[in-house]
Amino acid sequence: MSAQVRSAAIVGIHEYPSRDVEGALSPLQIKAASAARALEDAGLSWSDVDAIYDAGEAGPMSGFMISEYFGIRPNVIDTTNVGGSSYEYHAAHARRDIAAGKAKVALLTYGSTAHSNAARIGVGGRGGAGLPGDNVESFVGQTLVANYAMVACRHMYEYGTTSEQLAEISVATRAHAMRNPEAVQAMKDLEFLDIRETTVDDVVKSRMIADPLHLLECCMISDGGGAVVIAAPEVARNCAKRPVWILGTGEATKYPENGGDITTSAAAQSGPPAFAEAGVTPDEIDVAMIYDSFSITVLTILEDLGFCPKGEGGRWVEGGRLRFDRPGDGPALNTDGGGLSSNHPGMRGIFLLIEAARQLRGESTSQVDHASLAVAHGNGGMLGARHCAGTVILGRD
């Protein structure tokens, strides 16, 4: 690791604890509260921040609106919005801007009241062909979850993947969620039934949502938010907590095309440069924070990032190997409980960075012994259609 370039580090994190704010807070208020706590976690103040990264989820004109609301006059404003992968892109861009000398302390924030607003994220309409390339799916009434179900069907047809194998992902993340008090409270607040660790049988016998995806393979819809502070080395070394270094990053996009393979995600493009830049391989990763909108999202991304060969993901995840207490079997998956059992307010990318940082600090509720390397991979858009991928490799001192 001594040869790795350590030009920026995560030095402050905070996850807003409530997943059901009952309309008492706005997304902007959640962002501000989370930012204040993340800066406190880092031992920094608002006046130290000179770069803002924002996906615009709290309102239009997010660059200057959020700066004014926070009382910051940033040297850098980045308003990249690529859906759920936005915050992996933000982390990569913050690292580049800090390395270029344009900033020293970057602030990433997210806030959402999707649950309070009763947003139909997965099963509602697609917004009337709002995307230029979306000239078929919306017209025929295809929902977001239908895209993912289509990918799952194809993966099953192509590689023999089974519902029982996909269920292993939900079982592992629920096991981690039951160790996380905030995730357990979230399930209570969102009126989950029979809150406990689940089995493969529980998952495959849960209600079908979009064949072959069952209820327990679909993410929850919650409120929530969080913040991440990223700093230059000279700042990071003097912060309150151990720095978590950004070692490598990759970005990619994928869209429907004739002859394209819908079971391969943009992670196949974003992963290799991230691992190469970090100078590590997937076999060395201790914790994998993978965007889990649905079980099939995780399975395809694990394959595409190189944790196992394409098509072998189903067999590879069997037997509980993704649990935090099976370090010899591969990376622990979504140790906070993930979008399936902890939170999913609409764009979950920031929570991947937060929990990865917790793990490398030794602060997770499902702590992997001696965790030293983590990957945070965000997926924005829709698997099986147009989507973006952001891969971030993180390491500790």
Summarize pLDDT for 116-148 with one digit per residue, the tens. Answer: 998 777 765 554 445 556 666 666 667 889 999
Cis peptide before 212 (omega within 30 of 0): yes
Summarize pLDDT for 228-238 with one digit per residue, the tens. Answer: 999 999 999 99
The pLDDT value recorded for residue 133 is 60
Lookup: tokens for 283: 């076999």
Of the candidates 182, 228, 296, the one whose C-alpha atom is nearest the C-alpha of residue 8 is 228
The pLDDT value recorded for residue 1 is 43
The pLDDT value recorded for residue 138 is 65
Q: What φ, ψ does residue 254 adopt, rounded to 5°?
A: -145, 145
Mean pLDDT value of segment 17-37: 95
The pLDDT value recorded for residue 118 is 87
More reliable by pLDDT, 258 or 55: 55
Residue 77: Cβ-neighbour burial (10 angstroms; 0-12, 13-18, 19+)? middle
Q: What φ, ψ does residue 226 adopt, rounded to 5°?
A: -175, 180
Of the candidates 201, 206, 218, the one whose C-alpha atom is nearest the C-alpha of residue 149 is 218
Alpha helices in the chain (DSSP H): 27-42, 62-70, 86-99, 144-159, 163-177, 181-189, 200-205, 233-236, 267-278, 295-304, 313-316, 338-341, 349-361
The pLDDT value recorded for residue 129 is 47
Summarize pLDDT for 148-180 with one digit per residue, the tens. Answer: 999 999 999 999 999 999 999 999 999 999 999
The pLDDT value recorded for residue 127 is 47
CATH class name, domain 9-118+221-396? alpha beta
How many CA atoms lie within 13 Å of 244's alpha carbon, on the beta-carbon side? 30
More reliable by pLDDT, 143 or 32: 32
Eight-state DSSP code of residue 19: S
Strands 244-254 and 224-231: unpaired
Q: What φ, ψ does residue 89 adopt, rounded to 5°?
A: -60, -45
Which residues in 109-134 are b (16+ Cβ under 10 Å) and which e? Answer: bbbbbbbbeeeebbeeebeeeeeeeb
The pLDDT value recorded for residue 4 is 83
CB atoms within 10 A of CB 140: 7
Q: What is the pTM of this model?
A: 0.96
pLDDT at residue 71 above 80?
yes
Q: Answer for the pair 386, 254: CB distance below 8 angstroms, yes or no.
A: yes
Summarize pLDDT for 304-339 with one digit per residue, the tens. Answer: 999 999 999 999 999 999 999 987 888 999 999 999
The pLDDT value recorded for residue 273 is 98
